[in-house]
Amino acid sequence: VTAGATAAIGIVCLVRAGDRRELPLAATPLLFAGQQAVEGLLWLTLPQAPDGSISSGLTLLFLLIAEVFWPAYAPVAALLVETDPRRRRLIGLCVASGFAVAAWLLWALLTRSHAAVLQDGHIVYVTGQPPSVIVGAAYLAATGLSLMLSSRRTIRLLGALVLAGSVIAYLAYWEAFVSVWCFFAAGSSLVVLGHFEWSHRHRGRTADA
């Protein structure tokens, strides 16, 4: 259900985008939809064959999206739509942070064991990567702070929701943090729709004037 609704939002955002530089941001709901679909398939396959090749492949794909793709993609999407030079420089630092943490987590995924298990109504991703404050801070800087640095209010709101979701997921669902936080972030895609809907109407009023 989440994947379907988020995909519909993503299609509307892509239609509403007025410039090619906005396309990466507009595509984020559609990408979240794909990620949620992967986890939905995991819910179907884990009870039947938790150690099967399909479950293992879906687990790796989900973790690649969550841990490698988003920290590299999110700050780039924020940078492309930013016009203020000072803010662009700050977001550029988040881009560097995002690519660094993505490279580190990719190396960890490819060299250490990982698995997904059903536990207390959640999917828990077990990896050989020990918790690290530095890696966590770099990840949040890339995925949340880069959006908070935007000069556009709706994008800042999206960043605030992403960071708030990380706090809630950490405090209430620590063991299932990766799964729950990605669900929160996917739900926040509604803000992206609001951003492009407002921009579309603003361009319409400007054209009429």
pLDDT in tens, 108-166: 999 988 888 888 888 888 887 776 889 989 999 999 999 999 998 888 988 888 888 88
| Mean of pLDDT over the chain | 87
Q: Is the pLDDT of residue 202 over 70?
A: no
Enter the pTM of the model.
0.88
pLDDT at site 189: 79
Q: What is the mean pLDDT of residues 76-91?
A: 96
Question: Any idea which of 2-11, 130-139, 194-203 has the lowest mean pLDDT?
Answer: 194-203
Residue 45 pLDDT > 90: yes
Most distant CA pair in the chain, distance: 62
pLDDT category at 208 given cuts 50, 70, 90 is very low
The proportion of the chain whose per-residue pLDDT surpasses 70, expressed as a percent, equals: 93
The pLDDT value recorded for residue 207 is: 46
Residue 201 confidence class, pLDDT cut points 50, 70, 90: low
pLDDT value for 169 = 79
Decide if pLDDT at 7 tops 60: yes
Number of C-beta neighbours around residue 36 at 10 A? 23
Beta carbons of 195 and 147 less than 8 angstroms apart: no
Tell me, what's the pLDDT at 192?
Answer: 85
Over range 194-205, report the average pLDDT.
67
